[in-house]
Structure 1
Amino acid sequence: MTVLAVEHLAKSWGGVQAVAGVSFSLAAGEVLALIGPNGAGKSTCFNMLNGQVRPDSGRVLLAGRDITGMAPRHVFRLGVGRTFQITATFGAMSVRENVQVALLSQARGLGGLWRPMAGQKAAEAEALLDRVGMLEQAARPCGVLAYGDLKRVELAVALANTPRLLLMDEPTAGMAPAERIALMALTARLAKEGGIGVLFTEHDMDVVFAHADRIIVLDRGQLIAEGAPQEVRADPRVREVYLGTGATAGGH
């Protein structure tokens, strides 16, 4: 099943073509990496998918439904989760409470229902934390967590709306090498188990080539390559503009 279909997406900023007619698709349970050099258009493309930026032309389809230009809050409610390069949690609140807030957001307004509803959502929050390996730290304030653990909390928050599509913007940025591999291995497993399509951007090529089912490559707003990791690694144009002519299997 196709979770995400991007058709001829384009966006210009002040006469500069940031994204130029990009098309690709993502299947349920698939992990797709979006890579490219700085200025390639990755961030603009990413932000058009969840409504932060409205495209000049083209379409974004979520499970066949046109969501082009919808506000991020509406895209979220249709089943799109997102994590960001820099984590953003409520530091004074516990790990459990941070996930509860995400669960409660689906109720379209907390009002005076915060306390009773929070109690009802505690079990759901703990189930999500168990899935990402953070249940033992559920009562700890997010402000005292190690950065790698914060990334796991952020993943639990992104999973709170049971997404069909998960967008991850440089999910391993700032993490130690072992933590990077562990987080992406966990994400890939959850994607396969839940049938979640995952699209992620990443600068660490070890992470990309180890965990992506497919890779798409942007350069100057254009899609220059798409395929399995070994195909993309061997592509002469990709090696020229991004990986470097001397790139090895895990090279940067």
Structure 2
Amino acid sequence: MSEMPVNEAPVLSVDNIAKAYGGVQALGGVSFEVRAGELLALIGPNGAGKSTCFNVLNGQIRPDAGTVRLAGRDITGMPPRAIARLGVGRTFQIAAVFGSLTVLANVETALAAARGKSFGLWRPQAGMAREEALALLDQTGIAALADRPAAGLAYGDVKRLELAIALAGSPRLLLMDEPTAGMGAHERLALIGLVRRLAAAHALAVLFTEHSMDVVFGHASRVVVLARGRVIADGSVEAVRADPRVRAVYLGHAGAEART
């Protein structure tokens, strides 16, 4: 499947974001952009500032300085729900789905929430957005599991369901925190390949953190590397892989994981 060209205008613009906790500088002036159709990998060693950066972008943490813009609009410090309504979806390292609901009901509930419908969270209206929900499940490869309880899914299918839930809000930007954590090599490459195809098909900008270098180097459009809260590299997979600073602070001790 051919991928659409990356759009010129950035969907996400991060400009000089800073955040400190006491005397610890978690982020020290981080800047980068993500465009439609692009998968940008945000990597770095533990403690580099990746989680803090994600939480700033999602509105869970207010930065001490800097600006976050979504399609040119300043969203710095907005609460997570307001940011989500503007078109930002997120998946988490530990997948968050409702185990007591069926796979289909999980996505129906997400669709209703995105539209501001008011009904009991565990009692979605019968047939609410059923066709849309089934279409999302089809896109993520689990339509055949629609009537199964989410609690009984294999882990890889839970991650696909979480992706369908995130897509229910019709995001223009998708934040994915360790999307393939806990998955085997085949599963993780299949999942990130699916995300790449969806990004191309829907002009979706994707920012993801990841420790598995086979995922990053096999599927990222571009890579940003953080170390001690600062960007030390931002470029193509080839350029970042060859950067001596990256090899020194990160790739050297990530090599063993990259071969798993």
The bucket for the TM-score relative to the shorter chain is over 0.9
2:155 paired with 1:142: no
2:63 paired with 1:55: yes
* Structure 1 counterpart SS, 2:127: helix
User: Aligned to 2:41, which of 28, 33, 36?
Assistant: 33
Correspondence for 1:211? 219
Offset, 1:116: 8.0
Residues 193-239 of structure 1, C-alpha deviation per residue, up to 9 Å, x if partnerless? 10000000000011110000000000000100010001000000000
Q: Which of 190-199 and 108-117 deviates more? A: 108-117
2:101 paired with 1:93: yes
Equivalent pairs, count? 251
- Aligned counterparts of 2:56 and 2:24: Cα–Cα separation in 1: 16
On the 8 A contact 2:109/2:124 being kept in 1, the answer is no
Alignment TM-score, normalising by the size of structure 1 = 0.95
- Aligned counterparts of 1:226 and 1:202: Cα–Cα separation in 2: 15
Correspondence for 1:10? 18
2:86 paired with 1:78: yes
- Aligned counterparts of 2:13 and 2:56: Cα–Cα separation in 1: 13
- Aligned counterparts of 1:56 and 1:236: Cα–Cα separation in 2: 31
- Aligned counterparts of 1:246 and 1:3: Cα–Cα separation in 2: 30
On the 8 A contact 2:109/2:121 being kept in 1, the answer is no
* Structure 1 counterpart SS, 2:233: strand
Correspondence for 1:111? 119
- Aligned counterparts of 1:38 and 1:101: Cα–Cα separation in 2: 35
2:243 paired with 1:232: no
Residues 62-82 of structure 1, C-alpha deviation per residue, up to 9 Å, x if partnerless? 000000011100100000000
Correspondence for 1:182? 190
Offset, 1:251: 5.1
User: Aligned to 2:141, which of 133, 147, 154?
Assistant: 133
Question: Which residue type is aligned with residue 55 of structure 1?
Answer: P
- Aligned counterparts of 1:224 and 1:193: Cα–Cα separation in 2: 31
* Structure 1 counterpart SS, 2:48: coil
User: Aligned to 2:131, which of 123, 126, 130?
Assistant: 123
On the 8 A contact 1:87/1:150 being kept in 2, the answer is yes
- Aligned counterparts of 1:82 and 1:66: Cα–Cα separation in 2: 19
On the 8 A contact 1:239/1:247 being kept in 2, the answer is no
Question: Which residue type is aligned with residue 71 of structure 2?
Answer: A
Alignment TM-score, normalising by the size of structure 2 = 0.92
Question: Which residue type is aligned with residue 151 of structure 2?
Answer: G
Task: Flag the 1:224–1:141 CA change in 2: closer, same or farther, 3 A.
Answer: same
On the 8 A contact 2:101/2:122 being kept in 1, the answer is no
Offset, 1:48: 0.3
Offset, 1:120: 3.3
Using the aligned pairs only, state the percent identity: 62
Offset, 1:115: 6.8
User: Aligned to 1:163, which of 158, 171, 195?
Assistant: 171
Offset, 1:118: 4.5
Q: Which of 14-23 and 237-246 deviates more? A: 237-246
- Aligned counterparts of 2:62 and 2:169: Cα–Cα separation in 1: 23
User: Aligned to 2:204, which of 183, 193, 196?
Assistant: 196
On the 8 A contact 1:104/1:118 being kept in 2, the answer is no
Task: Flag the 1:56–1:117 CA change in 2: closer, same or farther, 3 A.
Answer: same
Q: Which runs of 5+ in 2 are unaligned?
A: 1-8
* Structure 2 counterpart SS, 1:46: helix
- Aligned counterparts of 2:112 and 2:220: Cα–Cα separation in 1: 32
